[in-house]
Each structure stands twice: as structure tokens, then as C-alpha cells.
């Protein structure tokens, strides 16, 4: 019997005990009247019987219900057991699957670990490769620079070799002996000395019926030899009215023979050396435009542009007409295009020049470019405007312009400056002296278009106070030899050029004649054999000497 049956039996016994028949004691306590009534007792017993039957039925029903519930419970227990067994089975299956998955998981983890190791290895190799690439790039750039330097050096050596050959002096230049130079200067007498510097000495001489300037370089110094070859290389290749003319050279003495320019250097004239009169503002503007023209010519020269490298008033000479000529090409250079930058420049580890006029970028980097000349040109312009020394001159002009008081720094010994023009020129000068070469103006595109109109407006230097003694107050020439006058323009020739017809003309006049398509001589009307012109150095020197003598006679 299960637990529910035992509980039902116990409940039934309890009810039977509570419904038991009355005992003898109970009978003794009963009312006598009741004992006398058998029917009543029988009814009580019958009632008790019915009660017990009802109780029995209830017990049986309860037992039957409990049995049914027990059967149902057994069924549910079986079902639950089956489900429990199923879940155990599923659990075992899942456990087994999980174990399999855990085992399989080790393979991807192993592969991932291997992949991480491979990735780490590849990353290390990549870093090493990148370092190697960077190292190779640096080495490549170094080799490329060395190659470029070697190519430039080889080209420079080739150019120098070509230029220093005997034929390189040109058809109009000559080679002189040391004996000729000694005779021309009375054995380099001090009375013939007209200049002294670190490069050597300059003497005035009379050579082959022409007054010349003879520069004796320090032959014992490496710089002296380099300067000699460089000046010959440049001046035998370039010709311009505002460049000093190289007549010849004496290789055995490292001497150079130039045309003689009687008015000396611009530096001396700005300082009024030997009690010379101050240059007028018209002459100064004329000089600014002439030097700008010379620089444009040098920088545009082909096949190789030329950079002067030491532009300053001391290296600008003035002829008898106060025509300015750029001289001293000892540290000038032909520019070779760099395959690294694509720009034309000259590189040196030892920058040379005059500090106050020297391009700061050239001094810092050793890169000599046309913009280096532009910087020096700007300082030179300020010297012409103010007459002051170059030290702190840029800041002085800049402060004066910012205050609107440029007139306070102008050199008033030059006369009454036209303020509008001079302010334009001062601003150009400041732009030329910008620290960064990229910020400096282009001389041909930006500067010349401003200066050219001023050049046309300014009177010719021939009409300045210094030369009115020759041409007179009425501007008409007096006592000037006819062969000093250009057959075309009938003015005294400043840049005498001989044409194919054998006649000598002013350079601008004959070039303009030829540019207009004329192919016949202006003097003879005969057909010209060619359009070439060559400087008539002898006539040019004669004109200068005559004008200088006239000036000295009138003073």
C-alpha cells in the first residue's frame, strides 16, 4: 500500500472510533426511559450503520480517487522519467558535442596563433624592408647628388677648358705679353695706379695707341688664378653696352686689359672722391635702369645664364658720358641646370662676396642664383637714392617708407627728386631685398616695366652739369670731331659698333636700323655683307679720352 492508501485507512479508523457503539458504562449512564425503548436503540444502531456505510463509501471513494491519482502520478512519473532520460540523453549529446567543439576550437586557436606569429613575422619583415627602402632612398639621393655634382663639375671643367683655350679670347680680344704691359704702365709705376684691392692692383696704361685699364691679379693665390680664368670666360662670351669691355689678357702675368673708364667707380662718385660733383638724380635713375638691363641680359644669356655674384657700387664703372658698366666678374658663374631642383644655380661650400650686398640665402646655403644678383641690386638702388653706407640701410628705407617720410633719407645733393618716381623705385628696392628669394621680383617682368618709362623721361647723362662744357648750354655740340658722331643719329657715340660696311655707329641706332629690315649701309647705301656688328674699342676709348680731356680743361 502506498502512502495515500495508508493515509486513507488511518482517516477511516479514526472516524470509526469516533462512531463506536455505546459501551456498558454508556448504558449505565443512559436515561432508563431510553433503555426501555428498543426501537429507539435499533434506530440508533441503524443510524450508526448508515453512518459507517457512508464513511466506508467515502473511504472507498477516497481510496479509489487516491488510487486513480496514484496511477496518474505513476504515469506522470513515468512520463517525467522518460523526459528526464531524454534530457539526460540530450545533455550527454550536447556535452559530447561541446567536447567535440572544444576540441575543434583548439584547431582555429592554433591556426590563429600561427597566423598571429606569421603576421608578426611579416610585420617585422615589412618594417625591416621599409627601413631598407628608406636607407636605399637616402643612399640613392646621396648618389644622385654626387652624380649631379660630378656632372656639374665635369661640365664646368669642360667649359673652363674651352674658354681658356687661346682662341677663346674672341676676335676682338688680344693676348698681350708682360713686356707690353710693363711698357704701357712704365713698369707698373705708382703714378699709373688707379685702384687697389685684395684681388690685386689696377693701372692706367697706353697700349697699342689706346688708353686701357690693366688689372694685375695675384698670380700666386688660387683665387687670383680662378678670377683670371673666370673673367676671361665670361667677358669673352658676353657683349652688352653696360658691361665693361675686355680688350685682352696676359696669361703669363694673370693680367686683364679693359677699356679705360675715366669717371671711375660708382662708389667713388657717390662719395664725391677727388672733389667730384655729386651725381644728379637723373643720372642715378639712368644708372639704375642700365644696371637692370645688364643683369637681365646676363640672366637670360644662352646657352648658360651668367650670375655676377658681387654686384655693388664699387664694381660699377662710369665712362666719360657717365654711362655705367658692370665690371669685376671674378666670382661670376655660368649657371648649369640642376637635375635635382630643375633650376639653374651654382653651388659652392665657400660663398664669396661683399657681406653688406650679399644675398642671405646664398650665404646660408651656398646656392648662387640670379635672385642673388637681385638682392645686391636692391641694396645698390638704395645707395643711389640715399647716398648712405649699406649698413642698416634696408631697415632705414623701410622705416622711412612706412612713416611716409622717404624724403628724409634721400640724398638731396642729387637735386629735387620726383617723389612719385622715387617712391616707386624705393619700393622696388625693398622687394629686391626680401629675405626669401621666391619673394623677390623678376627683373625683366616686374622691375624693367617700371624703370623703362623713367629712363625715357630722365634727361641723358650727356646733358648733366659735368658735360655741358662739351655740348654747351644750348645742347649743340662744339668742337666735337665729326667721326665721334653716329652717322645715323648724329650724337656722340657711347657704344660704338662697327658694321659690315666698315663704318662705326651708335649700337642702338644701327640695331634699330637693321631691325627695321634694312639690308643696305646707312652711310654708303651699299648692300651689307652681313648683319653682324663688333665693338670699335679703339674709337670708343678715343671718344672717352677726348670727353675727359674736355671736362678737365673746363674745370
Rounded to a whole number of angstroms, the distance between the first and last alpha carbons of the chain is: 164
Task: Mark whether 193 and 282 lie in a shared domain.
Answer: no
310, 319, 411, 501: which is the annotated catalytic residue?
Answer: 310
- Domain assignment present for residue 348? The answer is yes
Show the cell assigned to 120: 608578426
Local structure of 210: helix, strand or coil: strand
Task: Mark whether 334 and 417 lie in a shared domain.
Answer: yes
By mean pLDDT, which of 50-54, 264-268, 494-498, 549-553 is the weakest? 549-553
Neighbours of 174 (CB within 10 A): 17
Q: Give the pLDDT confidence of 372-388 residue by residue, as tens digits.
A: 999 999 999 999 999 99
pLDDT at 346 over 70: no
Average pLDDT rounded to a whole number, residues 19-43: 58
Average pLDDT rounded to a whole number, residues 106-115: 74
Task: Mark whether 440 and 544 lie in a shared domain.
Answer: no
Looking at 105, 132, 153, which one is the last position of a domain?
153
pLDDT at 15 over 60: no
Q: Give the pLDDT confidence of 194-232 residue by residue, as tens digits.
A: 888 667 889 999 887 778 999 988 766 556 677 788 788
- Domain assignment present for residue 469? The answer is no
Domain with residue 499: its CATH number is 3.30.40.10
Domain with residue 251: its CATH number is 3.30.200.20
Distance (Å, whole) CA 122 – CA 295 = 60
Look at residues 348, 555, 359 and name the one whose alpha carbon lies nearest to residue 439: 359
Show the cell assigned to 236: 669673352
What's the domain range around 422? 264-463
Average pLDDT rounded to a whole number, residues 241-260: 88
pLDDT at 358 over 50: yes
Residue reference for cell 631598407: 132
Task: Mark whether 389 and 309 lie in a shared domain.
Answer: yes
How many structural domains does the chain have? 4
Residue-level pLDDT at 364:
79
Of 368 and 23, more confident: 368
Q: What is the DSSP letter of 487?
A: T
Residue-level pLDDT at 457:
67
By mean pLDDT, which of 187-191, 229-233, 329-333, 348-352 is the weakest? 348-352
Q: Please, which pLDDT band fits residue 102 given cuts at 50, 70 and 90?
A: confident
Catalytic annotation on 373?
Answer: no
Average pLDDT rounded to a whole number, residues 160-172: 48
Neighbours of 495 (CB within 10 A): 25
By mean pLDDT, which of 102-116, 247-261, 523-537 is the weakest? 102-116
Residue-level pLDDT at 81:
83
Residue-level pLDDT at 388:
95
- Domain assignment present for residue 247? The answer is yes
Task: Mark whether 61 and 28 lie in a shared domain.
Answer: yes
Distance (Å, whole) CA 184 – CA 203 = 9
Show the cell assigned to 244: 665693361
Domain with residue 400: its CATH number is 1.10.510.10
Looking at 129, 153, 177, which one is the last position of a domain?
153
Residues 544, 260 contacting (CB under 8 angstroms)? yes
By mean pLDDT, which of 35-39, 141-145, 202-206, 340-344 is the weakest? 340-344
Task: Mark whether 346 and 237 lie in a shared domain.
Answer: no
Distance (Å, whole) CA 542 – CA 538 = 6
Task: Mark whether 141 and 235 lie in a shared domain.
Answer: no
Which residues are within 8 A (CB) of 164 and not within 5 positions of it... i.e. 6 or more apart?
A: 229, 232, 233
Look at residues 311, 314, 371, 322 and name the one whose alpha carbon lies nearest to residue 345: 371
Q: Please, which pLDDT band fits residue 399 given cuts at 50, 70 and 90?
A: very high
Look at residues 231, 228, 225, 263 and name the one whose alpha carbon lies nearest to residue 245: 231
- Domain assignment present for residue 471? The answer is no
Residue-level pLDDT at 473:
40
Predicted TM-score (pTM) of this structure: 0.59
Task: Mark whether 230 and 83 lie in a shared domain.
Answer: no
pLDDT at 402 over 90: yes
pLDDT at 443 over 90: yes
Distance (Å, whole) CA 46 – CA 501 = 181
Looking at 131, 153, 175, which one is the last position of a domain?
153
Distance (Å, whole) CA 184 – CA 19 = 176
Show the cell assigned to 170: 674672341
Q: Please, which pLDDT band fits residue 158 given cuts at 50, 70 and 90?
A: low
Task: Mark whether 51 and 197 lie in a shared domain.
Answer: no
Enumerate the H helices of 164-218 as residue ranges. 178-184
- Domain assignment present for residue 470? The answer is no
Helices 393-402, 419-432: axis angle to 10 degrees equals: 130
Q: Please, which pLDDT band fits residue 324 given cuts at 50, 70 and 90?
A: very high
Residue-level pLDDT at 349:
46
- Domain assignment present for residue 140? The answer is yes
- Domain assignment present for residue 510? The answer is yes
Q: Please, which pLDDT band fits residue 314 given cuts at 50, 70 and 90?
A: very high
Task: Mark whether 401 and 545 lie in a shared domain.
Answer: no
Task: Mark whether 183 and 42 lie in a shared domain.
Answer: no
Task: Mark whether 252 and 268 lie in a shared domain.
Answer: no
By mean pLDDT, which of 119-128, 147-156, 308-317, 326-335 is the weakest? 147-156
Q: Please, which pLDDT band fits residue 8 given cuts at 50, 70 and 90?
A: low
Considering the chain, what percentage of its residues have pLDDT values greater than 90? 25
Encode burial over 310-328: b for 16+ CB neighbours within 10 A, e otherwise. bbbbbbbbbbbbbbbbbbb
What is the average pLDDT score of the chain?
79
- Domain assignment present for residue 159? The answer is no
Amino acid at each position: 500500500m502506498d502512502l495515500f492508501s495508508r493515509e486513507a485507512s488511518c482517516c477511516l479508523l479514526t472516524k470509526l472510533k469516533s462512531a463506536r457503539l455505546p459501551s456498558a458504562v454508556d448504558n449505565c449512564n443512559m436515561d432508563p426511559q431510553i433503555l426501555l425503548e428498543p426501537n429507539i436503540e435499533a434506530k440508533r444502531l441503524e443510524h450508526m450503520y448508515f453512518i459507517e456505510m457512508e464513511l466506508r463509501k467515502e473511504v472507498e471513494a477516497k481510496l479509489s480517487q487516491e488510487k486513480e491519482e496514484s496511477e496518474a502520478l505513476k504515469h506522470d512519473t513515468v512520463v517525467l522519467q522518460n523526459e528526464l532520460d531524454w534530457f539526460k540523453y540530450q545533455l550527454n549529446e550536447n556535452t559530447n558535442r561541446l567536447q567535440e567543439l572544444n576540441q575543434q576550437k583548439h584547431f582555429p586557436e592554433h591556426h590563429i596563433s600561427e597566423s598571429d606569429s606569421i603576421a608578426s613575422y611579416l610585420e617585422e619583415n615589412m618594417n625591416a624592408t621599409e627601413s631598407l627602402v628608406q636607407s636605399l632612398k637616402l643612399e640613392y639621393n646621396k648618389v644622385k647628388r654626387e652624380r649631379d655634382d660630378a656632372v656639374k663639375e665635369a661640365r664646368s671643367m669642360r667649359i673652363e677648358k674651352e674658354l681658356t683655350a687661346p682662341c677663346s679670347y674672341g676676335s676682338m680680344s688680344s693676348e698681350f705679353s708682360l713686356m707690353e704691359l710693363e711698357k704701357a704702365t712704365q713698369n707698373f709705376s705708382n703714378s699709373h695706379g688707379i685702384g687697389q684691392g685684395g684681388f690685386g692692383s689696377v693701372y692706367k696704361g697706353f697700349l697699342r695707341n689706346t688708353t686701357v685699364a690693366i688689372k694685375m691679379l695675384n698670380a700666386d693665390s688660387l683665387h687670383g688664378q680662378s678670377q683670371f680664368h673666370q673673367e676671361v670666360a665670361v667677358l669673352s662670351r658676353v657683349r652688352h653696352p653696360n658691361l665693361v669691355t675686355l680688350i685682352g689678357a696676359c696669361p703669363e702675368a694673370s693680367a686683364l686689359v679693359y677699356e679705360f673708364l675715366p669717371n671711375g667707380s660708382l662708389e667713388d662718385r657717390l662719395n664725391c672722391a677727388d672733389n667730384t660733383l655729386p651725381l644728379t638724380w637723373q643720372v642715378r635713375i639712368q644708372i639704375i635702369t642700365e644696371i637692370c638691363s645688364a643683369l637681365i641680359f646676363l640672366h637670360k644669356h644662352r646657352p648658360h645664364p651668367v650670375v655676377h655674384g658681387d654686384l655693388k657700387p664699387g664694381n660699377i664703372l662710369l665712362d666719360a658720358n657717365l654711362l655705367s658698366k658692370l665690371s669685376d666678374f671674378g666670382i661670376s658663374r655660368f649657371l648649369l641646370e640642376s637635375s635635382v631642383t630643375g633650376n639653374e644655380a651654382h653651388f659652392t661650400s665657400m660663398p664669396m662676396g661683399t657681406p653688406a650686398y650679399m644675398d642671405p640665402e646664398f650665404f646660408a646655403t651656398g646656392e648662387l642664383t640670379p635672385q642673388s644678383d637681385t638682392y645686391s641690386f636692391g641694396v645698390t638702388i638704395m645707395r643711389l637714392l640715399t647716398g648712405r653706407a649699406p649698413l642698416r640701410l634696408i631697415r632705414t628705407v623701410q622705416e622711412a617708407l612706412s612713416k611716409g617720410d622717404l624724403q628724409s633719407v634721400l640724398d638731396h645733393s642729387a637735386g629735387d627728386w620726383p617723389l612719385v618716381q622715387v617712391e616707386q623705385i624705393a619700393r622696388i628696392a625693398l622687394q629686391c631685398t626680401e629675405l626669401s628669394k621666391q619673394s623677390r621680383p623678376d627683373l625683366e617682368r616686374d622691375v624693367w616695366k617700371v624703370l623703362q618709362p623713367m629712363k625715357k623721361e630722365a634727361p641723358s647723362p650727356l646733358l648733366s652739369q659735368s658735360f655741358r662744357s662739351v655740348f654747351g648750354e644750348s645742347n649743340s655740340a662744339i668742337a666735337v670731331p665729326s667721326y665721334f658722331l653716329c652717322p645715323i643719329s648724329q650724337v656722340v657715340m657711347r657704344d660704338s659698333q662697327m658694321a659690315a660696311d666698315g663704318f662705326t655707329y651708335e649700337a642702338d641706332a644701327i640695331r634699330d636700323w637693321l631691325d627695321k629690315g634694312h639690308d643696305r649701309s646707312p652711310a654708303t647705301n651699299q648692300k651689307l655683307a652681313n648683319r653682324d656688328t663688333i665693338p670699335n674699342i679703339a674709337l670708343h676709348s678715343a671718344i672717352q679720352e677726348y670727353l675727359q680731356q674736355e671736362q678737365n680743361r673746363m674745370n
